[in-house]
Structure 1
Amino acid sequence: MARTIAKDHDQKRELILQSAARIFATDGFDRASMAQLARECGISKANIYHYYDSKDALLYDILDNYLSTLRDRILGTNVEGLDPEARLHEVIRQILRAYQGADHEHQVQLNALGALPEDQQAQMRGYQRDMVRFLSDTIAAAAPEVLADDKPKLRATTMSVFGMLNWYYMWNTGAGTEAREDYARLVTNLTLRGVGGL
């Protein structure tokens, strides 16, 4: 007879993932243990192993869930009917909003992605490349006369924008929606007009 899935299976799995992301982000993936995770979740170590057979499996699921959801949200940004500058602002705005509340997952991505096997790292980098390409295309459309035919400059601009957004994540984690909206406008103006445009 097949084993039935508990009614709270998905909620428990989500609790484990959130707790693991917090522990991996604060203590480091290498130092974290399944026993520590069980204590954090308030469930037995055996119960953790019912969901995940290793820390590596947990790390993969944290990053796959986070990056695929982030990618889908950013690439799904509704820019219909917007002019190129407004499209760029909306994409930047959505990236900042998508980062909100995902501090631990973002930290795990920065510090522990290299612990995954190479094929899984390649999958995660694929998600990242999709987001970079999307933002890059959006930037190029907003400043075609400067960037459309200069791929190195477009790449540098794209990665600089991500750098500004990641800086905001690192130093303003508690920022609310209004502050993120203001910063999205600042980044858009700085990207398209430089300091003189602020």
Structure 2
Amino acid sequence: MARTIAKDYDQKRQHILTVAAEVFAREGIARASMNEVARACGISKANIYHYYASKDELVFDILDSYLSELRDIVVATDRAGQTPAEQLHSITRTILLAYDGMDNEHKIQSEGLPLLDEAQQEVLKGYQRAIVDEVSTILKDVAPSTLGADAKACRHVTMSVFGMLNWFYMWHPKATQDARIDYAKSIANLTLNGISQGMR
């Protein structure tokens, strides 16, 4: 007979994902054991294996949940009627606000992704590409004669925007919502106007 799924299964699963992300971010995925994750979650090792058969499966679910939600937030942002410049302001603000409270999940991406099998990596990279493509498309619309005509230049600028976004996450994890909005404005203005007018 198949084991009955508890009514609070999804709630407990989300708790495991949140706590595991914290443990992996603090200890490193390679060093942290499933036993340590179970202990931090306040459950037995046997219980955690009821939810996840392996550490790789747990890592994948953490990143899949985080990146798919981030992708959905970014893609679903309503930018109808906005100019390309306004759209850039909107999307940088949306991304920085979406990062709030997700520091652990964001931190373990670089270590976690290469540990997964090729099919799992492709799923996660698909979410990342969708987010990058949203920003890239806006940048092409901002400067169609330059970025729209030069794929390499567009990629450089797009990755520079993400570099600035990720810099803020790394160095200001406790930033307020207002601080995130203010820095997003600086990123957009710097990208749109260059260094001489970037902070205006």
- Give distance in 2, aligned partners of 1:193 and 1:158: 15
2:90 is paired with a residue whose SS is: helix
Structure 1 residue 129 corresponds to structure 2 residue 133 = no
* Partner in structure 2 of residue 33 of structure 1: 33
* Partner in structure 1 of residue 90 of structure 2: 90
- Give distance in 2, aligned partners of 1:110 and 1:95: 18
* Partner in structure 2 of residue 22 of structure 1: 22
1:3 is paired with a residue whose SS is: coil
- Give distance in 1, aligned partners of 2:5 and 2:152: 52
Aligned length: 198
Residue deviations 1:138-190, cap 9 Å, x none?
A: 11112223311111111100000000000001001111110011011100110
Structure 1 residue 172 corresponds to structure 2 residue 172 = yes
Residue deviations 1:70-98, cap 9 Å, x none?
A: 11111111101111111110011101011
- Give distance in 1, aligned partners of 2:49 and 2:2: 18
Residue deviations 1:27-61, cap 9 Å, x none?
A: 01111111111110111111101111110110110
- Give distance in 1, aligned partners of 2:93 and 2:110: 21
Structure 1 residue 116 corresponds to structure 2 residue 116 = yes
C-alpha deviation, 1:3, in angstroms:
3.0
Code of the aligned partner of 2:112: A
Code of the aligned partner of 1:145: S
1:126 is paired with a residue whose SS is: helix
TM norm structure 2:
0.96
- Give distance in 2, aligned partners of 1:148 and 1:53: 46
Code of the aligned partner of 2:93: R
- Note the 1:151-170 alignment, pairs <5 A: 151-170=151-170
Code of the aligned partner of 1:176: T
- Note the 1:65-84 alignment, pairs <5 A: 65-84=65-84
* Partner in structure 1 of residue 100 of structure 2: 100
C-alpha deviation, 1:2, in angstroms:
4.1
* Partner in structure 1 of residue 181 of structure 2: 181
* Partner in structure 2 of residue 58 of structure 1: 58
- Structure (1/2) with the larger helix percentage: 1
- Note the 1:132-151 alignment, pairs <5 A: 132-151=132-151
* Partner in structure 2 of residue 195 of structure 1: 195
Identity of aligned residues (%): 54
- Give distance in 1, aligned partners of 2:110 and 2:96: 16
1:31 is paired with a residue whose SS is: coil
